[in-house]
Amino acid sequence: MSDRKLQVVPLGGLGEFGMHMMAFRYGDDIIVIDAGMMFPEDELLGVDIVTPDLTWLKENREHVRALLLTHGHEDHIGAVAFFLEEFNVPVYGTPFTLSLVERRLEEYSLDFEPELKPVHPKVMITVGPFRVEFIHVTHSIVACVAMAITTPVGVIIHTGDFKVDPTPTDNVLFDLHTLAEYGKRGVLLLLSDSTNADRPGYSDSERAVRPRLEDIFNRSDSRLFVSCFSSSIHRMQQILDLSNEFGRKVALVGRSMISVTEIAHRHGLLDIPDGILMRPQDIMNTKPNKVTVLISGTQGEPMSALSRAAVDNHKQVSINKGDTVVLSSRIIPGNEKTIFRMIDHLSKRGADVMYGNMNPPLHVSGHGSMEELRLVLNLVRPRYFIPVHGEYRQMAKHARLAEHLRHVGLEETFILETGDVLEIDKLGARRAGRVTVGRVCIDSGGSADVVGDMVIRDRRVLSEDGIVLPVIAINKHSGRVEATPELVSRGFALEDDPDFMRAAKESVQRTLENSSDEEKMDYGVMKEKIRGDLKRYINKHADRRPLIMPVILEI
């Protein structure tokens, strides 16, 4: 072993869900694995996404050599654009993952052409002192890889997100053989996905959802609306295959659904039967029992295609009595209110809504459960182990799963949190302090604002442009607006201009007039519409960005 030290530096994603970013440093060379984002908690007002703080990398800017991506989920690639704004380095990933990155980069204007380098499983690349082999793993999105990183002090295995699916729909199996080969030769450090470390047994195969979907297709005699994550290419393939078997045409509704489908088909990862696709504008004119609609909005996002259709505010889709709506996804914690509100609207329209836990299942996890995690541990048999990708309780459970390996060479398990540094040299591994970490909050304007204490951020926003509260009283039973909207403002520069405030109030009134009664009965949708329209009006006519917090009184 060399006298030099290997540093393992988690910059996001440990002790939290999302925002995955891990750095490895040896001497004067740093490689980074993944650059993910997470969605903000409710208290982060005016924030669209949250990304890792890159301060430590900026302090070592001249040493950053490359960014390597495990797969294309937003919690692993959502911050690539912000990373590339700071570091013009090569980005390695599978062709499908890089295509998803390119789609994200179109929304940002980098002043250089990023160097995106496609790689495939079993390919080996060299970056400085690091030699990296990409290993195919199964997950809920296609084209995922783990990485075996050979360093001067030993081999590191980083699994990325995975489950061990014995029957994947594309028949491309998890490459356990390569993992086992590395295990036989000796692995210094394993970093492994802990998301389902508290779930006993095995995670179901993706094929486990087919019996439930097949039953739904058999029983449905009207339009069939299926909503799943747009990245769930395996799930979409099953919907396309079943629609073809049952003589249904398929319409794709929702920007992300259309975009990801095009990318997957281009890369040969999604087989679309000839003649099966139909235009969204033809949905309502086609015989109902001959239509399947793949629609985005499974988490009840206020302006998503399914949420708009639920309140009859979609220009191409209307959900009617007798239609079946299938939510083939998990309910992400924190989204319960918006999802169940959307389901209530769909139910009021007379739709049969299918969601939640069923047997056979409507949705299966993309992360390995306890027995799969044990399998990977047993194959790799590392000298040191770091559970990653999960909240602290899951990482602690994962650490306990590895205890039996102490008899076959495991020296120590480290439960790190974001910012902790692990140092490894010929004398062994040890904690070596912390680096600067944190969160960068990105608003809808695309500008990043580093935030420590959210109270300080809110005070800064209020001190600059103030706050505007549109107050609207709506009858929750009829959706009727019971009184003229009022605007309450504090610290807003134009609050003493009666003409401007009157025009702003009229802007809110127009939003209400252009909304259906059903929309007005959904305060989540109305808050978003009022906030967006009023924000655009004030920004256009006053060049200000006050904090806008609609208040809807349900009476």
The verdict on 36 and 56 lying in the same domain is yes
The verdict on 345 and 383 lying in the same domain is no
Report how many domains make up the chain: 3
Residue 10 has pLDDT above 50, yes or no: yes
Q: How confident is the model at residue 152 (pLDDT cuts 50, 70, 90)?
A: very high
The verdict on 253 and 394 lying in the same domain is no
Q: What is the pLDDT of residue 3?
A: 58
The verdict on 408 and 526 lying in the same domain is no
The verdict on 84 and 111 lying in the same domain is yes
Backbone φ, ψ for residue 226 (5° rounding): -120, 125
Mean pLDDT of the chain: 91
Q: Is residue 18 part of a domain?
A: yes
Most confident segment among 11-15, 43-47, 441-445 = 11-15
Which of 332, 354, 376 corresponds to the end of one domain? 354
Q: Is residue 273 part of a domain?
A: yes
Using alpha carbons only, give the angle 52, 58, 60 rounded to the nearest 5 degrees.
125
| Selection from 526, 543, 412, 530 nearest residue 480 by Cα | 526
Q: Which is more confident, 217 or 553? A: 217
Q: Which domain CATH number covers 173?
A: 3.60.15.10
The predicted-structure confidence for 396-428, as pLDDT tens digits, reads as follows: 999 999 999 988 889 999 999 999 999 999 999
For residues 248-274, give the mean pLDDT.
96
Which residue range forms the structural domain that includes residue 197? 6-201+365-442
Q: Is residue 192 part of a domain?
A: yes
Q: Which is more confident, 487 or 17? A: 487
Q: Please give the span between the terminal C-alpha atoms of the chain, in angstroms, as a whole number.
A: 72
Q: Which domain CATH number covers 236?
A: 3.40.50.10710
The verdict on 342 and 436 lying in the same domain is no
Alpha carbons 26 and 8: distance in angstroms, whole number: 9
Q: How confident is the model at residue 44 (pLDDT cuts 50, 70, 90)?
A: low
The verdict on 148 and 190 lying in the same domain is yes
Q: What is the pLDDT of residue 47?
A: 67
For residues 365-380, give the mean pLDDT.
97
The verdict on 192 and 135 lying in the same domain is yes
The verdict on 230 and 338 lying in the same domain is yes
For residues 54 and 16, is the Cβ–Cβ distance under 8 A?
A: no
The verdict on 27 and 151 lying in the same domain is yes
Q: How confident is the model at residue 17 (pLDDT cuts 50, 70, 90)?
A: confident
Q: Range with the lowest mean pLDDT among 3-7, 432-436, 530-534?
A: 3-7
Active site residues: 193, 367
The set of long-range contacts for 120-127, using a CB threshold of 8 Å and a minimum separation of 24, is 120/94, 120/95, 121/94, 121/145, 121/175, 122/175, 122/178, 125/92, 127/29, 127/31, 127/65, 127/66, 127/90
Alpha carbons 196 and 308: distance in angstroms, whole number: 33
Q: What is the pLDDT of residue 501?
A: 87
Q: Is residue 115 part of a domain?
A: yes
For residues 268-274, give the mean pLDDT.
96
Which of 388, 420, 442 corresponds to the end of one domain? 442
Which of 322, 354, 386 corresponds to the end of one domain? 354
What is the DSSP-derived secondary structure letter of residue 78? T
The verdict on 225 and 185 lying in the same domain is no
DSSP H or E run through 146: strand 144-151
Helical pair 523-542 and 336-348, crossing angle rounded to 10 deg: 110
DSSP H or E run through 91: strand 91-93
Q: Is residue 319 part of a domain?
A: yes
Q: Is residue 449 part of a domain?
A: no
Alpha carbons 523 and 32: distance in angstroms, whole number: 42
Name the strands in the sheet holding 412-413, side by side, starting at the edge strand that comes first in the sequence. 124-127, 130-137, 144-151, 154-158, 189-193, 384-388, 412-413
The predicted-structure confidence for 64-90, as pLDDT tens digits, reads as follows: 999 999 999 999 999 999 999 999 999
Please state the separation of Cα 128 from the chain's center in Å: 31
The predicted-structure confidence for 478-518, as pLDDT tens digits, reads as follows: 778 888 888 888 887 777 788 888 888 999 999 998 988 88
The predicted-structure confidence for 166-220, as pLDDT tens digits, reads as follows: 999 999 999 999 999 999 999 999 999 999 999 999 999 999 999 999 999 999 9
Residue 450 has pLDDT above 50, yes or no: no
For residues 57 and 437, is the Cβ–Cβ distance under 8 A?
A: no
For residues 537 and 500, is the Cβ–Cβ distance under 8 A?
A: no
